[in-house]
């Protein structure tokens, strides 16, 4: 997966490649899907949610430009796979999931795999988690109609937010960086398709 789907397609961040090589993706999919755990495709995980394709996980993680340590917020825990990848690169990961059953499963799975630097919460991730802000990186694994202002404001100086933005079925991956003057620098990247971000600052449920 790392060599054929990630490095060959242009992922150059060695830290991201190594992290994804260490995380056992088969532990984060349904037993019936283990045979295709390393295929470059999204897979269903229940509650109408999916685990993202490995390439998109790599692209979004690399866009955060994590340098080791630091605090990262993930919105949309899902199966916990993305949180595990982030935990390999950050000092602390806070991840929020709106579906309690997915959050509980992810929490147990991450604990079994020895990830002690991940906190799984249940709540409306569309407003972020200001109680632990600021964050050096924020990764949103669901598509928003626009970049939520509340989430942007939780970035630390120099921090980056990666979020799919656009209507259902067609989004662009947007990267927002908070400059030293407090201003936000926004750029659009790869086209992508994610499940909707449901909540106060996202789509209605």
> What local confidence, expressed as pLDDT, does residue 66 receive?
95
Write down the pLDDT at residue 188: 87
| Residues 177, 178, 184, 187, Cα dihedral to 10° | 0
Residue 187: its pLDDT value, please?
94
Tell me the per-residue pLDDT of 137-157, one tens digit each, with 9 for 90 and over.
Answer: 999 999 999 999 999 999 999
Report the alpha-carbon distance of residue 113 to residue 189 in Å, rounded. Answer: 32
pLDDT at 191: 93
Q: What pLDDT, on the 0 to 100 scale, is given for residue 32? A: 96
Which homologous superfamily does the CATH classification assign to the domain defined by 2-192? Vaccinia Virus protein VP39 (3.40.50.150)
Per-residue confidence (pLDDT) for residue 203, from 0 to 100? 95
What's the confidence (pLDDT) of residue 182?
A: 87
Q: Which residues are catalytic?
A: 52
Extents of the domains making up the chain: 2-192
> Which residues in the chain show pLDDT less than 50?
none
End-to-end CA distance of the chain, in Å? 35
The runs of H, that is alpha helices, within the chain are: 14-22, 54-63, 81-87, 100-112, 149-152
How distant, in Å, are the alpha carbons of 3, 68, 74, 201 from that of 134?
34, 16, 13, 18
Whether the CB-CB separation of 120 and 111 falls below 8 Å is answered with no
**What's the confidence (pLDDT) of residue 189?**
82
Number of Cα atoms under 13 Å in the Cβ half of residue 188: 8
pLDDT of residue 19: 97
| Segment (H or E) for 50 | strand 49-51
| Cβ pair 75, 138 in contact under 8 A | yes
Which is nearest to 138 in space by CA: 98, 173, 107, 94?
A: 94
3-state secondary structure of 201: coil
Query: Residue 57: helix, strand or coil by DSSP?
Result: helix
């Amino acid at each position: 997966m790392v060599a054929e789907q990630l490095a060959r397609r242009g992922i150059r961040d060695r830290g991201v490649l190594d992290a994804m090589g260490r995380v056992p993706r088969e532990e984060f999919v349904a037993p019936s899907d283990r045979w295709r755990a390393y295929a470059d495709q999204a897979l269903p995980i229940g509650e109408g949610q999916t685990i993202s394709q490995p390439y998109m996980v790599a692209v979004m993680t690399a866009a955060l430009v994590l340098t080791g340590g630091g605090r990262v917020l993930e919105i949309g825990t899902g199966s916990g796979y993305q949180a595990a990848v982030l935990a390999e690169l950050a000092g602390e990961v806070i991840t929020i999931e709106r579906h309690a059953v997915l959050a509980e499963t992810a929490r147990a799975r991450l604990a079994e795999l020895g990830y002690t630097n991940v906190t799984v919460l249940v709540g409306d991730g569309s407003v972020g988690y200001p109680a632990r802000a600021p964050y050096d990186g924020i990764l949103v694994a669901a598509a928003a109609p626009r970049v939520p202002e509340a989430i942007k404001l939780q970035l630390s100086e120099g921090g980056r937010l990666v979020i799919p933005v656009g209507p259902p079925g067609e989004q662009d991956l947007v990267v927002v960086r908070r400059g030293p003057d407090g201003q936000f620098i926004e750029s659009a990247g790869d086209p992508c398709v994610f499940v909707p971000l449901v909540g106060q600052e996202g789509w209605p449920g």
